[in-house]
Each structure stands twice: as C-alpha cells, then as structure tokens.
Amino acid sequence: GNSVTQMEGPVTLSEEAFLTINCTYTATGYPSLFWYVQYPGEGLQLLLKATKADDKGSNKGFEATYRKETTSFHLEKGSVQVSDSAVYFCALILQAAGNKLTFGGGTRVLVKP
C-alpha cells in the first residue's frame, strides 16, 4: 500500500538555525505531495505542495522538492523562528488509491530563543 515515513521528533533547534525534516514515500504511481503544519491547539494548515517530479513547493520560507528518483519530499527552512514551533506532517494523495490523503506520523519541531 501507499505510505509516508517521516523522521521522528522532537527536533529541537535554536532560533535562526537551519531546519530539515526528512520525508520519504512509497506509492504505486505518481502521487501529489503535501506538507501540512499544525500549531498547538489548531487544525492543519497546508504549508506547500508539489504535484509532479522536480516541482518545488515553497511558502513562508519553507521549501520542498519532489524527488521521484529518491521518492522523497524533504522540508527545509533556512532560518527558523520560535513561531515555527509546531508539528509538521508530510502527506500524499494518489488518484489510484481513491484520492485519500495518506499522512506520515508527524514531526514535532521546537524552536528555542
């Protein structure tokens, strides 16, 4: 079946540090890929997306590139802020699987001042 694997957290960083969250997927086909962010006490917000190989999604200083050869969609940010503390979910949608959203386990990020 289809699945998404993320690095386990928590990831603890200092402000202005570089953030990378690894995400790899298994899918029988060519999924669309997403990163969602969940701030404490809130729902999920779409952070960025990519729908085909080599697409780069970007938003709020975050970037991720759809790498078909490594089946990866790693999230990066060059300089994190305390306000980036949240849980980040990598996810995929595959038409052949009924267009259901498949999530990774989530990675908690804590940015300290």
Partner 1 sequence: DTEVTQTPKHLVMGMTNKKSLKCEQHMGHRAMYWYKQKAKKPPELMFVYSYEKLSINESVPSRFSPECPNSSLLNLHLHALQPEDSALYLCASSQQVSNQPQHFGDGTRLSIL
Min dist CB 79 to partner 1, Å, is 25
Q: Residues with Cβ < 8 Å from 51, sequence gap 6 or more?
A: 32, 33, 66
Q: How many CB atoms lie within 10 A of CB 102?
A: 18
- Which residues of this protein are in contact with partner 1, per CB under 8 A? 31-32, 34, 36, 41-46, 49, 51, 89, 91, 93-95, 98-101, 103-106, 108
Rank residues 72 and 103 by Cβ distance to partner 1 and give the closer one: 103
Specify the amino acid at residue 110: L
Min dist CB 58 to partner 1, Å, is 15
Rank residues 2 and 17 by Cβ distance to partner 1 and give the closer one: 2
Q: Which residues pair with 49 in a beta bridge?
A: 34
